[in-house]
Structure 1
Amino acid sequence: MLVAIFSNRRLLAAAALVRVVCHTWCSPSTTRCLLLFRLHAAAPCSLSLTPSASAVSFFHFSLPPQPLFPAPQPQPPLPHRPIMSAATEFLKALQQRRSIYSIGRKPLSLTNEQVVALVQGLVREAPSAFNVQSSRAVILFGAQHEKLWDIALEGMKAHGVSGDALEAAKQKIASCFAAGVGTVLFFEDTAAIDELKKNVPAYAHNYDSFSLQASGMAQYAVWSALAQAQIGGTMQHYNELIEADVRKQFDVPASWKLISQLPFGSIEAPAQPRTYIPDEGRFLVKGL
């Protein structure tokens, strides 16, 4: 069967042409040709059926005159944000993340509860190999935050730091870390990594490295997001000096391995201008 669809009665000549074609190269005993004239929405019409001498049938619709190609109707503009513009804004947000050593306790743009929710959301969304989700965080405020940095100072003493070096460390801890509002401690759950090694042994030798990559992405996400909220901070690594006491003081599970500490607070002084090594030594581009 041949089906021809026309949108206007001015195409009746085309219908006649189809009829001729059917007579010419279609077998009348096996072919049926149905010609349809598309009805305009809500338009009055009449239908007549005129069988021809052959096996070709025509359905004729009488339509009111309509333009052959109606003018396109204007469409409302779609919400549009250039992709490159959005990517550039994201880059600017990352550029705002800096190491802010001069932090304080002036009112922040986020409440403590909002900081907790932000950290939870960012660590939750950070990617991890095989979706193992091994990153963990402990968020400290107030006296618990101060206790952490007391532990850090005691840890330095226990590891033989003394004299002028200890005094310098004491001043730095007091003004750059303990002076803030809180601290985020980042951990990796070794139990989750060990389970992954057992279940997917083919890449077991890489999982410790993959775990650190996952932690790094979680840390970067939290640090950058705090910077967007005008909250300053730095990433510290007092790990071996404090890990045992941190686990005891804050009831941290034994399988959680301490990776870094992010003290944060109000920005009391901006970071120094950042310098960059030449791009020529950092990137290779092929095929562009």
Structure 2
Amino acid sequence: MSATTTNLKEAIVNRRSIRKVTKNDAITKERIEEVLKTALHAPTSFNMQSGRMVVLMDGEHEKFWDIVKETLRARVPAENFEATVERLKGFHAGVGTVLFFEDQATVEKMQENAPLYKEQFPFWSHQGNAMLQHTVWMLLSAEGIGASLQHYNPIVDAEVKETWNIPAEWSLVGQMPFGEPNEQPAERTFLPTEDVVKFY
């Protein structure tokens, strides 16, 4: 079911963490670009639009997950590393990865323009990026594309910036590997609605 035929409620309910993905030639750069263009309509505080995305496809995507693996090799105890590698294989086998960044130069400019809210802009910046991530995730899901949200920052930040010539002021906040779904997620459980929603 595509994003054009899936309603909002279905998109929210059906979005799941798919941590094992595979290749599919039908998942093209053009399809991903259309998803990301749509996602740019996600809201941001003061319309500051500080979110940035870098899409790594095919070999570049695999290079990123190789960087993650080698970075973790030096940090994960040897007895746990095999399990770590198995987890990473599920991401590595996919089509691509969206790297989500926050442009700190934009955040600082907003702080200068609205000093009354200076301390709040970093929080609002991350809230905006979270909405961008969720929007991309829902749109991918609606297209039948599996994805999950990962956080291997900040341990890979320096090598990522050097490898793909990322501006110094961009701060990496999340990674979303995507591809053809290759697992069935477990059933979700939820807290009782009355524990998290209050009416007065």
**Under a length normalisation based on structure 1, what TM-score does the superposition of the two structures give?**
0.66
Q: After TM superposition, where is structure 1 displaced by more than 4 Å over at least 4 residues in a row?
A: none
- The corresponding residue for 1:103 is 21
Supply the distance in 1 between the matched residues of 2:117 and 2:169 (Cα, whole angstroms).
21
Supply the distance in 2 between the matched residues of 1:284 and 1:261 (Cα, whole angstroms).
33
Supply the distance in 2 between the matched residues of 1:98 and 1:281 (Cα, whole angstroms).
23
Aligned residues: 195
**2:169 paired with 1:255:** yes
Gaps of 5+ in 1: 1-87
| 1:218 corresponds to which of 132, 150, 155 | 132
| 2:35 corresponds to which of 118, 129, 142 | 118
2:81 alignment partner AA:
L
Supply the distance in 1 between the matched residues of 2:51 and 2:131 (Cα, whole angstroms).
10
Supply the distance in 1 between the matched residues of 2:37 and 2:161 (Cα, whole angstroms).
20
**2:79 paired with 1:161:** no
| 1:281 corresponds to which of 191, 195, 198 | 195
Identity %: 36
- The corresponding residue for 1:177 is 91
**Mapping for residues 26-45 of structure 1, pairs under 5 Å:** none
TM-superposed deviation, 1:112: 1.9
**2:4 paired with 1:90:** no
Gaps of 5+ in 2: 1-5
| 2:61 corresponds to which of 125, 128, 145 | 145
C-alpha deviations, 1:7-43, integer Å up to 9, x for none? xxxxxxxxxxxxxxxxxxxxxxxxxxxxxxxxxxxxx
**Mapping for residues 234-245 of structure 1, pairs under 5 Å:** 234-245=148-159
Secondary structure of the 1:116 match is helix
- The corresponding residue for 1:62 is none
C-alpha deviations, 1:215-235, integer Å up to 9, x for none? 000000000000000000110
- The corresponding residue for 2:3 is none
C-alpha deviations, 1:104-151, integer Å up to 9, x for none? 11344x4222212321331x2111111111000000101100010011
